Amino acid sequence: MTDSTAPRVAIVTGASGGIGRAVAERLAADGVRVVAHYSGNADAAAEVVAAITAGEGEAIAVGGDVADEAAMAALFDAAEQRFGGVDVLVHTAGIMPLGPIAELDLETFDRIQRVNVRGTFVVDQLAARRMRSGGAIINFSTSVTRLQMPTYGAYAASKGAVEAMTLILARELRGRDITVNAVAPGPTATPLFFAGKPQEVVDRIASLNPMERLGTPEDIAEVAAFLAGPGRWVNGQVLYANGGAA
C-alpha cells in the first residue's frame, strides 16, 4: 500500500530541454522527487538537478534512448532504487524535424515516428506496469494537430498517435487509480521552436493566439503540475495549452 505521506516521485523525460526542464523544476517546487531523464545532453540534465537541489529538492539525472525498452526499464529501475517507486510520468521527450510531406525523406519520417510514437509507447507501457496507485501519466502532444500548419505533417502524425495511445491507455487502466492525459502545447518559446525560424516568422506565429505571444515553458509546466497533482478528476483528455490559438 502506498504511503500517502511520502513525497511523490516523478520521471520527467526530456528534462534537459526547455519544457522538460520547466516541468522538472515546477514539480520539485511542489515537493516531488524528480528523475530528470535526458537523451544526449548530460550537462543540461546536471544543471536541472543542480537547480532542484539548490532549492532543497531531490533529483537525479538518468540518460537513455526513450525508444529503447532496456534503457527505459533502467530509468524506472533507477527511480525505484533511489526513491522507492514512481508516481508520475511526464513524457516531454520528442523531436520535431519539419518539411513538406511531398519533400520529407522517409528516413527522417521514420526517425520522428521512432522517437515520438515508439518512445511514448515504451515509457507508457513501463508506467502502466510499474506505476503506483494514485499515479499520473502525462504525455505530450501538440496543438498542430488542430492548427494544421504546413511542414508539420510528419510531426503532427506522430502526435496524433500519441493522443490515441493516451486516450486508450486511460481506459485500459480502469480500477488502478492512475490518470492518463496529454498536454498539447501551442508554439512555445524554446530552443526547439526558435531553431531555423527568422524573426518575422516567430512574430507571425506568436500573433496567432488572442494572447498575442508565444507560450513559455513555465506556462506548460503549470498544466503538467496540475495533472500530476490536484487534477485527479481529469482523465483520458487532451488539454490544449496554447493561449486560445485553436
Q: Is position 38 annotated as part of the catalytic site?
A: no
Angle between helices 42-54 and 18-29 (to 10 degrees): 20
Catalytic residue among 38, 152, 155, 240: 155
CA distance linking residue 177 with residue 119, whole number of Å = 24
Cβ distance 205 to 152 under 8 Å? no
CA contacts within 13 A on the Cβ side of 8? 24
CA distance linking residue 147 with residue 126, whole number of Å = 31
DSSP codes, 123-156: HHHHHHHHPPTT-EEEEE--THHHH--TT-HHHH
Cβ distance 19 to 221 under 8 Å? yes
Extract the C-alpha cell encoding 151.
511542414
Cβ distance 175 to 134 under 8 Å? no
Active-site positions read 155
